[in-house]
Amino acid sequence: MMSFIVASADKCIGCHTCEVACAVVHSGTVSQTAQHYFPRLKVIRLSRISVPVMCRQCENAPCVAVCPVGALRKQGEEVEAINSRCIDCKSCVVACPFGAIEIVSQPSEGEGNPLIVKCDLCSGHASGPACVTVCPTDALTRVSAAELHRQQQEKQHSVAQRGRLNGLLLQEKLNYG
């Protein structure tokens, strides 16, 4: 079953707490420097709204399809990054429709492979995604594809009901107007 994190622009206050928590969880240390600060999501601010953007763990992920060396693969619920295979071609960055992948070269670290920076749903962390846990306004929620489908059906039903009511009111107005 596929799951991913949904962000609510209505609730997000743009505090970047989710970014910091993500970077800390993945680095293993609270002391962050600019050269080691790699959150797997980015808070985007547009005029009056802000919202975190992260990997949607696509079922048919374009980033996986385009990677020439298999550095990304669909593994269970997530699109998994395998840094040891990455050749820094950035094809995945271009293919991602959400702009949710970054490739960071680390020549100063002496590592031979770049770092693929993308949401991994904090796999391996018992408490789940750190961003969801720390969000002060509950703007982030981890949902399954089935739950998202259920919510979509509820909204469609609600809109259909309102449409029927509006149609009845319009018909009544035309008949008696």
Token pair for 30: 């609270």
- Per-range mean pLDDT, top range of 46-60, 61-75, 163-177: 61-75
Is residue 166 situated within a structural domain? no
Is residue 163 situated within a structural domain? no
Beta strand 78-81 with 72-75: parallel, antiparallel or unpaired?
antiparallel
Q: Which residues, at least 6 apart from 4, have a Cβ–Cβ distance to it below 8 Å?
A: 55, 56, 57, 77, 121, 142, 143, 145
Domain count, the chain: 1
Task: Count CA within 13 A, CB hemisphere, residue 81.
Answer: 27
What's the domain range around 127? 3-144
pLDDT in tens, 77-95: 889 999 999 999 999 999 9
Residue 107 is predicted with a pLDDT of: 58
Residue 149 is predicted with a pLDDT of: 84
Residue 144 is predicted with a pLDDT of: 83
Is residue 154 situated within a structural domain? no
Which stretch of 33-37, 160-164, 169-173 has the lowest confidence by average pLDDT?
A: 169-173
pTM exceeds 0.85 = no
pLDDT in tens, 27-49: 877 766 677 789 999 999 988 89
Predicted confidence (pLDDT) at residue 136 exceeds the cutoff of 70: yes
Residues above pLDDT 70, as percent of the chain = 84
Is residue 60 situated within a structural domain? yes
Give the CATH number of the domain where residue 46 resides: 3.30.70.20
Is residue 168 situated within a structural domain? no
pLDDT in tens, 104-132: 987 555 556 899 999 999 988 888 899 99
Is residue 103 situated within a structural domain? yes
Among 129, 75, 68, 119, which Cα is nearest to 98's? 119
